[in-house]
Structure 1
Amino acid sequence: MSDQGSSTSTSQTDGDFEGELDEEVESEEGVKEKGRDSPTPSLSNFSASLRAVIRIKQKYQAMKKRRQEMVLGLGAGALVGAPGRTSPKIFTFDGLTPSAFPTLSSIQQKKKKRRRKRVLFPTGGGRKAMPRQERSRATYCLYLLLAILFLQVYNAIENLDDHVLRYDLEGLDKMLRREVFGQQGAVDGLLSHLKDYLSTYVHNKPLVVSLHGPSGVGKSHLGRLLAGHFRSVVGETLVLQYYVLHHCPQEANALECARNLSSHISEMVERAEEEEKIPLFIFDEAEHMHKEILDELWQLVASKQSNEYLNTIYLFLSNLGHGHITKHMLHNSSSISMAMTASGRHSNLLKELTPILRNTLEKLHPLWTEADILPLSLLEKRHVMECFLDEMTREGFYPDHTNIERLAGEIDYYPGAEGREYSQTGCKQVVAKVNLL
């Protein structure tokens, strides 16, 4: 709208100027014609024509100047509050300052910026190659660290396996399953304790296991098998079988026996530390151990000794609490399913009898507060027959099933077991009866 208004005003000004100029020219032409019509032109007519030409020129210059001022005024008014022209009619350098013109340095900077923004790709026909990202060196260091950590963990696991293989627990498991009858649950529990403890050489406490059961259920037999196996894997000098009635029969010598036992255990522990092995101490017939001996063992087990005293295994065999075991099995014989496995029966027995046995044993001596208690169950008639079969095979007798059943029938059994025949003496009389054949 401003452009149209400015152009209209300019055209009007040009029209007025042309009209005035035409009037002046016509008047001058009239004067000339009058002079021509007159027969004799005079000096006054020539001077009048000259004055008219000068006046026309002056007026033309004044009108031209006025027109330029009007155009500049209209252009300045149109720029205020109105959009600029796309194609201006008049171009002048008025109002422009030297700072408005771009310098050479600014032009060079703009060219550099444009060059930096541009990404050049190969001109040949094909796929454009994207810029390649370089991997940080820290990534390779991280991969190396993870590889070293994996090797260390793998080596530690291999060392644990080697430590367990040194004691041949698989061979011990096979031997106990073959030689011990009717105590599969207790054997599994004992092997579980040994495997967990022997899987490493560093411990925060010694392993103390206490086996309890009635007479003839296989406690001493189990102790002899364990002693023989450990003698074959760690050596004769690192296994101790201590029979109280044999090593210290007199109660008057109990204090001296306790001191001798403590010094002997210290020597074995130091020797085992030098050889990096774990010694085994088996105490059979623990129900006959004197108080002085129990106190000395309690000091070795419960007190914070040096590291070599923590890498030891103590096994106690006794018939303490056998009354609770017998009573529990006779009263719950009907609830024991024939389809239940030996491990399942022993887990139930362990769950129900452990609190009762621990309460009874802790009243006798605080040594049993540091022990893991494993009860041994009563032997049934089929277990006694297995004992006869094994003993007759060892002595060279023909394993006649009729003869074995007759010998097993001569054993005394608990009455009122509701379909189960629990032996009162276990397999204790098997050897004597086989010797009579």
Structure 2
Amino acid sequence: MDHLLPFESKRLRTDLRDSLFGQHIVSDVVLKAVSSFMTDKNPNKPLVLSLHGSTGTGKNHVAKIIARNIYKKGENCKHVHTYISEYNFPNKQYSHIYSAQLKQQIITAVYWFPRSMFIFDEMDKMHPQLIDIIKPFLDYNAQVDGVSFNKAIFIFLSNAGGNVITEVALDFWRSGRAREEIRMNSKELETKISENINKNSKGGFSHSSLVNNHLIDHYIPFLPLELEHVGQCAVAEMIHLNIKPNYDVALRVAKDMPFFPEKERVFAVKGCKSVRQKLVLYFD
């Protein structure tokens, strides 16, 4: 187990606080869910997190934060397995082949390393057959081919539910309430997300037994980002690029990004995506 870091809840809390912006719900749920799971010596099922929200709100970033607080090499650890729907499974006619390969890869990975992590990006575009292959690994006290999956971690990333989350955030803004008042139970937010996935998802999530069998532990909503959050992302990118932080430049970068609704310009269309590309235009 020398690939694992000694898990520290305090370190994860600090990392979420310092490198994730505008996502108080995410920070709270991820901290509690991951800490509880990692400190349980005998969990009765794998940890299954489903991250939902529009582009650039931090879903991939949070998956990386979780990985770097569990593994010494973070996302680059050989026990972190990432699948991107349209890249790894591009042709629907080959779904039966992909399914067989995916099943064997997961079983082999967990057989050799029980604390393996699996990240599935673009879940809303994945074929139902592929998603249903994953289902047996996620159940309570699951054993497949004699392998226990109770210590594994599955993280699903999806844009599904993004519109519902945005509507809730806009409602709060229009009523003059702070976004920090939005909680998981705000107008039954978690229920709305899961219902929206079932109703509108183009991919396998809509008919998936993952949803129907309640195997996902937490649906985690990523709120659309505001101007200040994009500015914070710009400052973080400066630090990452070894550029001395300049808050005036960060704000200019943020203001150059597209926002919606068109008149009010409240939320960033692309979140923090493209911030690094925009940032380089301001420096020689």
Structure 1 length-normalised TM = 0.56
CA distance in 1, matches of 2:240, 2:43: 41
Residue type at the aligned position of 1:395:
L
On the 8 A contact 1:186/1:346 being kept in 2, the answer is no
Cα shift at 1:348: 4.8
Distance in structure 1 (CA, Å) of the matches to 2:163 and 2:78: 36
Contact residue 167 and residue 233 of structure 1 kept, 8 A? no
Quote the residue 1:268 is aligned against. 109
Tell me the CA shift for residue 317 of structure 1: 0.9
In 1: Cα distance, 2:137 partner to 2:176 partner: 40
Secondary structure of the residue aligned to 1:374 is strand
**CA offsets 1:211-254 (integer angstroms, 9 cap, x no match):** 10011101112222323333317993332122222222222222
Tell me what 2:123 maps to: 286
Q: Could you tell me how far apart the structure 1 residues matched to 2:154 and 2:51 are?
A: 11
Give the distance between the partners of 1:165 and 1:397, measured in 2 at CA.
30
The aligned amino acid for 2:121 is D
Q: Greater strand share, 1 or 2?
A: 2
Structure 1 residue 374 displacement after superposition: 1.0
How far does residue 322 in structure 1 lie from its aligned partner after superposition?
Answer: 0.9
- Alignment partner for residue 300 of structure 1, among 120, 131, 137? 137
Distance 1:434 1:257 in 2: 39
Give the total of aligned pairs.
265
Find the counterpart in structure 1 of residue 77 from structure 2.
236
State the alpha-carbon separation in 1 of the partners of residues 12 and 108 from structure 2.
26
User: What does residue range 387-426 of structure 1 map to in structure 2 within 5 Å?
Assistant: 387-415=233-261, 421-426=266-271
Q: Which has the higher helix share?
A: 1
The structural deviation recorded for 1:184 is: 2.5
| From 90, 98, 110, the counterpart of 1:249 | 90
Structure 2 CA distance for aligned equivalents of residues 194 and 188 of structure 1: 10
Whether the 8 Å CA contact 1:227–1:241 is kept in 2: the answer is no
1:263 CA displacement: 0.8
Please tell me whether the aligned partners of residues 230 and 239 of structure 1 are also in contact (alpha carbons under 8 angstroms): no
Larger gyration radius, structure 1 or structure 2:
1
Question: 2:21 & 2:248 partners in 1: Cα distance?
Answer: 20
Deviation track 1:29-56 (CA, whole Å, cap 9, x = no partner) reads xxxxxxxxxxxxxxxxxxxxxxxxxxxx
Aligned to 1:432, the other structure's residue is in SS state helix
Q: TM-score by structure 2 length?
A: 0.83
Matched AA of 1:199:
T
Deviation of the 1:403 alpha carbon: 2.3
Q: Which of the residues 168, 180, 198 maps onto 1:328? A: 168
Q: Which residue of 2 aligns with 1:134?
A: none
In structure 2, how many angstroms separate the alpha carbons of the residues matched to 1:290 and 1:190?
27
- Give the whole-Å Cα distance in 1 for the aligned partners of 2:210 and 2:61: 24
Tell me if the contact between 2:45 and 2:140 (Cα under 8 Å) persists in the aligned partners: no
CA distance change for structure 1 residues 262 and 237 in 2, over 3 Å: closer, same or farther?
A: same
Give 5+ residue unaligned stretches, structure 2.
200-205
Shift of 1:304: 5.8
CA distance in 2, matches of 1:230, 1:253: 34
Cα deviation, 1:351-403, whole Å, max 9, x if unaligned, reads 53111111222450221231121111111100011111111232233433332
Task: Identify if the C-alpha distance between structure 1 residues 197 and 324 changes in structure 2 by more than 3 Å, giving closer, same or farther.
Answer: same
Could you tell me which runs of 5 or more consecutive residues in structure 1 were left unpaired when the two chains were aligned: 1-163
